[in-house]
Structure 1
């Protein structure tokens, strides 16, 4: 199962992604994740959501193999819309979302984590946008919520990654812990949040989103237009084909 929901303790809902080999999600996976997050937020018994993953890493973005084997632009449009919905579901979740990140957090993973309310990471976690090496654009909106502006631009243009420890120094990661302690650390933070009054938490989440200086849905949608433009010109397909065939260059795991 790609996305599942559990309740590790009262007031806390865990939404888990498990799509081997690297949690690169197909179109249906992004929509399933969005649905699970929205359902968790609507649940009156939930006061905090932990977004986590099983396997080798947190998230490796979209399934490029699905995109390249699908004729026309159907899969591209589906991935764009699915990511848009999943990222928005994190941001608009009615209660705080704690992202528990291990291993690779690339592409779409940045969209999820950048929209979370808090981030706990394992020592092995690495974060980045290899979009230019994959024939895509996007999620700079969300990377800009994790690092300062000039670092965001440097990471975006080079496709380099940063470690959890580096993000901790920038203040965007709450705690960095050994891999074996990640779930416990994320649950500890979620438990502390869930101890608050549920009605006030929902009001607080709406209030904080309301004063956010960046409209994340609008800015990400703007970015997506350039991804589609790159696909129409053919430049995106050249990079995606090279990546799927294993001849592409640049850092990052398979998406």
Structure 2
């Protein structure tokens, strides 16, 4: 890995967060900057916010950027909780141009994949073996799949069909808030979702991330599933850290 510091940007449906990252420790190096995601969240407007955050740190090195989208060879093929105009957009070229960077200096990847990279890299070493799934519970449900520590990119397990509905419309953290569900009620929905996922890929470990992981003690013990589920260690910083790692290693999809 080149150097000990990197830079990551995590683009979400409600906010865009960025910070310098200590790549040795796997943590933010200073206070992150967060700016509300523009409405509409078009490529040009989002890229403008990314440029503002990078400029706020005076950062001149490689930049990693996450998107809530399937990313293939730098192009967004889906758009979850961001403007649909992202679909078919060369995201890498868009950010590279907006930041005024040379080719290869910007890496774009799926947001859950970035969070997973960070958790696998900096989490408990014993949590890397076998089939491991990171699930991020937020506005939607993001997923990252690893086999013995190696990422299988662009899984979309949040969109599995559960009882005739898209999983994230039933079990995302936003659904808990919108419907005023208790942790017990929401955990029942999450359990049902995880059981469908278990029957599909038989994971050895599930890592639960997203903002709701800060209160893991209130709902993880309520889950009724066969797989061991642990809270993400990097919490909401995982996307930023993983993006910085990907940029430092040139690990785009």
Question: If the TM-score is normalised by the length of the shorter chain, which range does it land in?
Answer: under 0.3
Q: For CA contacts below 8 A with separation 6 or more, give which structure has more relative contact order.
A: 2
Normalising by structure 1, what TM-score? 0.26
Higher strand share: 2
